[in-house]
Structures are given as structure tokens and as C-alpha cells.
Amino acid sequence: MSYTGSINDEITEEEFFMLTLHGFPYSNYYNMVKHALMLKDIPFVEHTVYPNTPELLQVNPSGKVPAMTTGEGTCLGESSVLLDYLEDAYPEKPLYPADAGARAQVRQLMKVAELYLELPARRLLPAVLAKVEVPRATRDEVRAGLERGVDSLRALASFAPWVAGEQLSLADIHLRYALAIPKLVGPAQLDWDIVAAVDGLAQWDALMADSDIARKIDADMQANLGDFMAYVASLNK
């Protein structure tokens, strides 16, 4: 099992040179990478840090979460880059299919989850997290974008039992955490349960949640909620 801990903990010299994941447990993109690390059984250390802080800017000039420092000291940003790095550097437990066509289908599902589910829904996060009033026109635009994502998922996903077929892949990890935002804002802002809108998605969602890795990540996420909300509140001062 992978070692996980805080870089603020007392660690050995060997652990000092482990891969470090920078970010915070309430971030869905952080959790995509964390899930892949744990599933691939890669030793790593967690460093809790929030966007655009001096600490994060030292390792990721965009100030975005997540970021990663490899065991060799290379600093990387962007979740898709981090996931591809893990596949290249740790190929023993692959999360992409071997066949090129199947790999492309997995990447297509990942793009659909990001562009047409996560990103449109993210526009409504201020309404949920900070109680900011969102114009009707914005909600209508988000709904239209999410409908494109739902239609694409209906056409592309197989849920047999995993989203791309018989093999669990990065498409499953990416979709699980991309869906976190639509699941949060859909019922509250659009009166729409997106999971229920796609046949097989609810069963797949339950399957993805039923693992020690998912339970650990979900518990860490909830434990971080108070600190994350304090960070959000600090942005409005």
C-alpha cells in the first residue's frame, strides 16, 4: 500500500524523496490524481496547500491545484499532465488500455467529463459555496452545456461494468471526480439530478464509491471541508 502523509510530519530521508502531491483534499482534480496514485500503489506524500499561495506558486507557476513534485525534484502542474506522467513513470499497473483505439476512447470519455460536465457545472459553484446570486441566463447556459455532456455520456459510456468496458481505467477515475461538481450544483441550482439522467450511471457511481481508496478519499475530503470553506471566506475579505 502506498505511503501517504503530510510533509509537515516527521519523515525519513527515504520518504523525503517520495513523490509529493500538492493541493487540498476538497479539490476534485486533486482527488483524481490521488486516486490514481493509490490505485497504482505509488508511494507519495501529501502537501496541503491552496491556490495562488506563495507555497503553491513555488511548484506551479499557474497557482493551480493539483501540482506534483517527482522524486527527482521535477515540478509539474495540470491534472492531465500528472496522470500521464504517472502512466509513463509507473507502467506496472496501467490505467490505459494497451490497444491504441481503446486508449483513445478512454481519453475521449475523460474529455467529455471535463469539458461538458465538470467545467460547465463549475460556473455555478459560487452560488453553492459563497451564496452568490447567479443570473438565470448563466444557469440556462450551464444546463445546455451539461445536456451536451449527458448526451455524450449516454452515447459513449458502456458501464460494463466500468465506463469504458471490462477494465477500470482513468476514464472511471476522471468521471468520478468530474461528476462531483454537477452532483453538487445540479439539484440545488438546476433542479436536475444528472446521475439519474444517464442509464447505468447511478450503479456505476455506487460501484466506484465501494472501495477502500474511494472511502479514504471521501473521508479526507469531508475532513478538509472546514479549512477549505475558511479559505473561500478569506477570498471575500
Does the domain made of 1-95 have the CATH classification 3.40.30.10? yes
State the Cα–Cα distance between residues 92 and 104, nearest whole angstrom: 20
CB 123 within 8 A of CB 138: yes
Residue type at 45 in one-letter notation = V
At residue 236 the predicted structure's pLDDT band, cuts being 50, 70 and 90, is: confident
What are the structural domain ranges in the chain? 1-95, 100-209
Q: What is the pLDDT of residues 179-227, one digit of tens each?
A: 999 999 999 999 999 999 999 999 999 999 999 999 999 999 999 999 9
Residue type at 110 in one-letter notation = M
The pLDDT value recorded for residue 3 is: 43
Mean pLDDT for the chain?
93
Strand duo 19-23 + 67-69: pairing: antiparallel
State the Cα–Cα distance between residues 128 and 134, nearest whole angstrom: 10
Question: What fold does the segment set 100-209 form as a domain?
Answer: Glutathione S-transferase Yfyf (Class Pi); Chain A, domain 2 (1.20.1050)
In the chain, % of residues over pLDDT 70: 93
Q: Is 198 helix (H, G, I), strand (E, B) or coil?
A: coil
Q: What is the pLDDT of residues 8-55, one digit of tens each?
A: 444 445 555 789 999 999 999 999 999 999 999 999 999 999 999 999
- Cell 516527521 belongs to 10
User: pTM for this structure?
Assistant: 0.92
Tell me, what DSSP letter sits at residue 75? E
* Residues forming beta bridges with residue 23, ordered by sequence position: 48
At residue 235 the predicted structure's pLDDT band, cuts being 50, 70 and 90, is: confident
